[in-house]
Chain A
Amino acid sequence: DAKTTQPTSMDCAEGRAANLPCNHSTISGNEYVYWYRQIHSQGPQYIIHGLKNNETNEMASLIITEDRKSSTLILPHATLRDTAVYYCIVRVAPNTNAGKSTFGDGTTLTVKP
């Protein structure tokens, strides 16, 4: 699995958009970008994933650059409950033998009132 690089920490004002970047310059053609978050004392929770097109769901939006070497997770209206560690990982396509998934240290997002 390709490695990812994320900033260690970020702050965001409540109600504003939180934009979390991720670099994955060694991503392979069959690897998807996945985002998870981990709220204190809980297991990580899936947020969103994508291959090359931008994706949106009820939790967030995912913007992937055309060369696929980086992506941005967008929380459009951050709340205090969005304070968590956010992990960006890349792994092979769904519905195949996905193998292990390597998580880095993630970005600690702190949403402030």
Chain B
Amino acid sequence: GAGVSQSPSNKVTEKGKDVELRCDPISGHTALYWYRQSLGQGLEFLIYFQGNSAPDKSGLPSDRFSAERTGGSVSTLTIQRTQQEDSAVYLCASSSHYDSSGANVLTFGAGSRLTVL
């Protein structure tokens, strides 16, 4: 696609429910990142996928959070038993090793806003 697509754009859920957030990266981008941004805060790194390598999960805040990337393309971030503190905007970005400009720029999606009641 032309850009990074995230869905849903907004999700309201009840405490204790599971949610899935989806990211469609730019076609051909080998790297995919998930970040979380709480209201008025900076970006908090969650997880990073690069090709077929094992993902860097060092930013996941608890074992309720998990992510997968199928076929090296679409990624799903799953939050189990959601808590109110999980309320935030979840941002996905992708980049390419082989960016023609050589910049290896992260291109971000518009984010998925999660509200846990």
A interface residue numbers (CB < 8 A to B)? 34, 36, 42-46, 49, 85, 87, 91, 93-106
- Chain B residues within 8 Å of A96, by CB: 97, 104
- Chain B residues within 8 Å of A106, by CB: 42
B interface residue numbers (CB < 8 A to A)? 4, 31, 33, 35, 41-43, 45, 48, 50, 53, 56, 58-59, 91, 93, 95, 97-99, 102-111
Q: B91 contacts which of A43, A98, A100, A105 (Cβ < 8 Å)?
A: A43
The 9 closest A-B CB pairs, nearest first, are A43-B108, A105-B42, A94-B104, A103-B43, A46-B105, A100-B48, A94-B102, A44-B108, A100-B45
**Closest approach, in angstroms, between the C-beta of B24 and any C-beta of chain A?**
14
Given contacts A43-B91, A44-B43, A105-B41, contact A100 B103 (CB under 8 A): no
Q: B108 contacts which of A45, A49, A105 (Cβ < 8 Å)?
A: A45
Q: Is the interface of A mostly helix, strand, loop or mixed?
A: loop
Q: Is the interface of B mostly helix, strand, loop or mixed?
A: loop
- Chain B residues within 8 Å of A45, by CB: 108
* B110 and A99 within 8 A (CB): no
- Chain B residues within 8 Å of A36, by CB: 106
Bound Cα distance A50, B87 (Å): 35
Chain A residue nearest in CB terms to B51 = A97
- Chain B residues within 8 Å of A42, by CB: 110
Chain B residue nearest in CB terms to A101 = B106
* A100 and B99 within 8 A (CB): no
Chain A residue nearest in CB terms to B4 = A43
* B99 and A94 within 8 A (CB): yes
**Closest approach, in angstroms, between the C-beta of A90 and any C-beta of chain B?**
13
Chain B residue nearest in CB terms to A94 = B104
Bound Cα distance A61, B45 (Å): 27
Chain B residue nearest in CB terms to A44 = B108
**Closest approach, in angstroms, between the C-beta of A52 and any C-beta of chain B?**
15
Q: B103 contacts which of A94, A97, A99, A103 (Cβ < 8 Å)?
A: A94
